[in-house]
Amino acid sequence: MHRLDVELGDRSYAIHAGGDLLADPEWLARVLTAPALFIISDDNVAPHYLPSLRAALGQRLRGELVLPAGEAQKQLDTLSRVFDHLAECRIGRDAALVALGGGVVGDLTGFAAACWQRGIDFYQVPTTLLAQVDASVGGKTAVNHPAGKNLIGAFHQPRAVIADTDTLATLPEREFRAGLAEVVKHALIADPDFLAWLEARVEALNAREPETVGETVLHCCRIKAAVVSEDERERGRRAILNFGHTFGHVIEGALGYGQWLHGEAVAAGMVQAMVLSRTLGLLNEEEQRRAVALMERLKLPCEPPALSVDTWLEWMSRDKKATSAGLRFVLLDGLGRAIIRDDVPESRLREVLACEMQSP
Amino acid sequence: MHRLDVELGDRSYAIHAGGDLLADPEWLARVLTAPALFIISDDNVAPHYLPSLRAALGQRLRGELVLPAGEAQKQLDTLSRVFDHLAECRIGRDAALVALGGGVVGDLTGFAAACWQRGIDFYQVPTTLLAQVDASVGGKTAVNHPAGKNLIGAFHQPRAVIADTDTLATLPEREFRAGLAEVVKHALIADPDFLAWLEARVEALNAREPETVGETVLHCCRIKAAVVSEDERERGRRAILNFGHTFGHVIEGALGYGQWLHGEAVAAGMVQAMVLSRTLGLLNEEEQRRAVALMERLKLPCEPPALSVDTWLEWMSRDKKATSAGLRFVLLDGLGRAIIRDDVPESRLREVLACEMQSP
């Protein structure tokens, strides 16, 4: 088991990553320290891991809510249901929520914790690759609005993250792939050595070789923790973690949340961001080819769905990253080197969007 | 015009208090600096002051939403409507909301700003005495849940507060009285000299003499700003601002939000908290009599409604101030000296609640 600390002053917390964590009630009881707890999970995950969490918490468990799995739950109506349950179970200021599941459960639970009684503690227990490498670290919580992804939310740091990599063995294939997209993202934006490391381990990753997957999770958390520690509330550099997301959020929103998994949309979105980076002379053809080759070997979707240029632009203008001055893009100035640009000419963007439409 | 600074590091802000502020579009335009703004108000206030704000903001005004007046609007459904409008008007991260109205509009708008895109700026333009002396300062934002007052919310500081005391001249009598309850609260918890100052000015206050009302607003803001600067997120001392609220929130919730105005419920709640303080030997009879006499001269309700002891206890246990260990009370250890106590024996509390029921 590895422990990694996210340094954020009095909001610092530990990420515990490794195998067999959820099978150890005594250890869990020591990490989940709140005097009263309420678990939120979904109906895919709960049958597997809820019993052992229950055993760990004993009398301190004040209630639980198991939601239908899927992105469609990440919305205000579900949040309202969560609040009803918290009220019913008398969840007070010193209690904590536990998010047991993937990114949807984590984002929703974290936001519920951020708002309930103006903020109570919560723990992240991510059970998908995407949540372990990305969603559960960094304190971004949110629900979706029909007009856009994660439009309603808060920065609220977890008290601790427990990433049991054994949970990834039973993850549906599509979800595992979606998580690999965020893994590749971490390499592309910040760490060329990690990119090479991944290239050398494609077979092990595709086979979910536990040691390799565990090291991968830990390395991504390390990259993300460093970025977040520097810029908790995304006033600057942290935005590089959104690489692929300006395009990806359009795919998710325009097709209806849940059609494409978040990681799938980010994968296709990263390719679009790389094409735009090339158009602007930031990335060369060889670099792009190398990145796309890795993604293809990891069986990630590299082509966006067919959407009209107007649809792309319409949705982009509603994205959180848009300001009244215009759109903001995270681009690659070489592999492993993300930059943020506010000055992309609309004509160049339109070229990229139109060109992508003709792809197979 | 007076300016008062709330010192909170990078969340510091100014309170501007005085007459004629909303009649000066040029001054308003200088204070409301965001490049894009969206106004939220209610149908009592909007006809009076929305036109001059509109004139001040010109092209920067991106939209407005006028809600029905009243506490019933302070709930998740209305918040959801607010988000729909913000999405429709493309309110982005660099835009700001403007809360033009009383405590309900301020709390709702502040919470909407806290959540929209994980937090955008907002300005408080309070137009009731209660909001000017209390609700608009300090960054507490929230909506109600059927199970309790302000159960869903966030700490989110305004960018500036504009308290135009001229707006108080047209305030309905009942609302003005409700605001005076919070004025008395500030004196009782923290400032015996201010208590004496108020006692000497009851007639001027009842006549809404502008100079006196203006000084009163400023003095309350000064007390509150000092308390908030010391303890922004209510981890300790700030809780004294909740004096009267543990009882008051029961009155508001149990009778249905909007039956008693917040300030009215706080007035009766402060008397109950003083009776409890006396029962515990903290306050003497003479002190209690003096405080109640001032409240009566200001025509504040000093008797709680008839509720069963079980109803009181049931609602209190759901209050935010309750922990799994028990109830927390703000009591007076003499006039002008509030203390926080977690160890009030239930038997003493029951005595006070039962006794109050027999009051006329």
What dotted CATH number matches B173-357?
1.20.1090.10
Q: Sort out which chain A residues have CB atoms less than 8 A from B148's CB and list them.
A: 87
Contact A154/B119, CB-based, under 8 Å?
yes
pLDDT confidence tier of residue B274, bands split at 50, 70 and 90:
very high
What dotted CATH number matches B2-170?
3.40.50.1970
Q: Are B264 and B300 a contacting pair, CB within 8 Å?
A: yes
Amino acid in the structure at residue A33 = T
- Strands A148-155 and B140-145 turn out to be unpaired
pLDDT above 70 for A34: yes
Task: Give the pLDDT of residue B356.
Answer: 53
- How many residues are there in chain A? 360
Taking the mean position of all CA atoms in its chain, how far away is CA B256? 18
Decide if A340 touches B, using CB distance below 8 A.
no
Helix (H, G, I), strand (E, B) or coil at A246: helix
Task: Give the pLDDT of residue B304.
Answer: 94
User: What are the tens digits of pLDDT across the range A230-265?
Assistant: 999 998 999 999 999 999 999 999 998 889 999 999
Contact A317/B140, CB-based, under 8 Å?
no
In A, minimum Cα distance to B151 occurs at A117
CA–CA distance, A203 with A216 (Å, rounded to integer): 13
DSSP state of B343: -
CA–CA distance, B31 with B39 (Å, rounded to integer): 15
B160 min Cα distance to partner chain A (Å): 20
Of B182, B252, B264, B356, which residue is the catalytic one?
B182
pLDDT above 90 for A266: yes
Task: Give the pLDDT of residue A357.
Answer: 46
Taking the mean position of all CA atoms in its chain, how far away is CA B43? 20
Window from A56-70, A123-137, A141-155, B309-323 with minimum mean pLDDT: B309-323
Across B203-207, average pLDDT: 97
Task: Give the pLDDT of residue A358.
Answer: 43
Q: Are A153 and A123 a contacting pair, CB within 8 Å?
A: no
Contact B155/A117, CB-based, under 8 Å?
no
A74 is catalytic: no
Contact B148/A87, CB-based, under 8 Å?
yes
Task: Give the pLDDT of residue B337.
Answer: 97
pLDDT above 70 for B226: yes
Task: Give the pLDDT of residue A332.
Answer: 98
The mean pLDDT value of chain A amounts to 94
Joined together, the tokens standing for residue A95 give 């209690």
pLDDT above 80 for B301: yes
Q: Are A150 and A107 a contacting pair, CB within 8 Å?
A: yes
User: What are the tens digits of pLDDT across the range A180-198?
Assistant: 999 999 999 999 999 999 9
B172 min Cα distance to partner chain A (Å): 31
pLDDT above 50 for B359: no
User: What are the tens digits of pLDDT across the range B122-147?
Assistant: 999 999 999 999 988 899 999 999 88
* Region of residue A303 (left: phi > 0; alpha: psi -120 to 50; beta: else): beta
User: What are the tens digits of pLDDT across the range A86-103?
Assistant: 999 999 999 999 999 999
Of B156, B159, B238, B328, which residue is the catalytic one?
B238
Task: Give the pLDDT of residue A257.
Answer: 81
Task: Give the pLDDT of residue B358.
Answer: 43
Of A44, A144, A150, A242, which residue is the catalytic one?
A242
A141 min Cα distance to partner chain B (Å): 8
Q: Are B307 and B278 a contacting pair, CB within 8 Å?
A: no
Question: DSSP string of B285-306?
Answer: HHHHHHHHHHHHHTT---S---
Across A206-219, average pLDDT: 94
pLDDT confidence tier of residue B323, bands split at 50, 70 and 90:
low
Task: Give the pLDDT of residue A147.
Answer: 87
Contact B324/A94, CB-based, under 8 Å?
yes
Task: Give the pLDDT of residue B12.
Answer: 94
A48 is catalytic: no
B2 is catalytic: no
Decide if B140 touches A, using CB distance below 8 A.
yes
Q: Sort out which chain B residues have CB atoms less than 8 A from A94's CB and list them.
A: 323-325
CA angle A68, B115, A266 (to 5 degrees): 60
- Counting residues of chain A whose pLDDT is more than 90, the rounded percentage is 89
B245 is catalytic: yes
- Counting residues of chain A whose pLDDT is more than 70, the rounded percentage is 97
A145: annotated binding-site residue?
A: no
A344: annotated binding-site residue?
A: no
Question: DSSP string of B76-96?
Answer: HHHHHHHHHHHHHTT--TT-E
pLDDT confidence tier of residue A356, bands split at 50, 70 and 90:
low
pLDDT above 80 for B204: yes
pLDDT above 70 for A325: no
Across B249-265, average pLDDT: 92
Task: Give the pLDDT of residue B324.
Answer: 61
Helix (H, G, I), strand (E, B) or coil at A214: helix
User: What are the tens digits of pLDDT across the range A159-184?
Assistant: 999 999 999 998 999 999 999 999 99
Task: Give the pLDDT of residue A199.
Answer: 98
Q: List the 206-265 stretch of B: residues with Cβ below 8 A of A.
A: 233-234
Joined together, the tokens standing for residue B259 give 């039956």
Contact A153/B90, CB-based, under 8 Å?
no
Contact A142/B318, CB-based, under 8 Å?
no
* Residues whose CB falls within 8 Å of the CB of residue A193, separated by 6 or more in sequence, listed in order: A336
Of A156, A177, A222, A249, which residue is the catalytic one?
A249
A295 min Cα distance to partner chain B (Å): 30
Joined together, the tokens standing for residue A134 give 């990305």
A53: exposed, middle or buried (Cβ count in 10 Å: 0-12, 13-18, 19+): buried
Decide if A322 touches B, using CB distance below 8 A.
yes
User: What are the tens digits of pLDDT across the range B20-54?
Assistant: 999 999 999 999 999 999 999 999 999 999 999 99
Class of A2-169 per CATH?
Answer: alpha beta
B48 is catalytic: no
A224 is catalytic: yes
Across A145-163, average pLDDT: 94
Task: Give the pLDDT of residue A320.
Answer: 73
pLDDT above 60 for A359: no
Decide if B342 touches A, using CB distance below 8 A.
no
Domains of chain A by residue range: 2-169, 173-357
Decide if A108 touches B, using CB distance below 8 A.
no
Decide if B317 touches A, using CB distance below 8 A.
yes
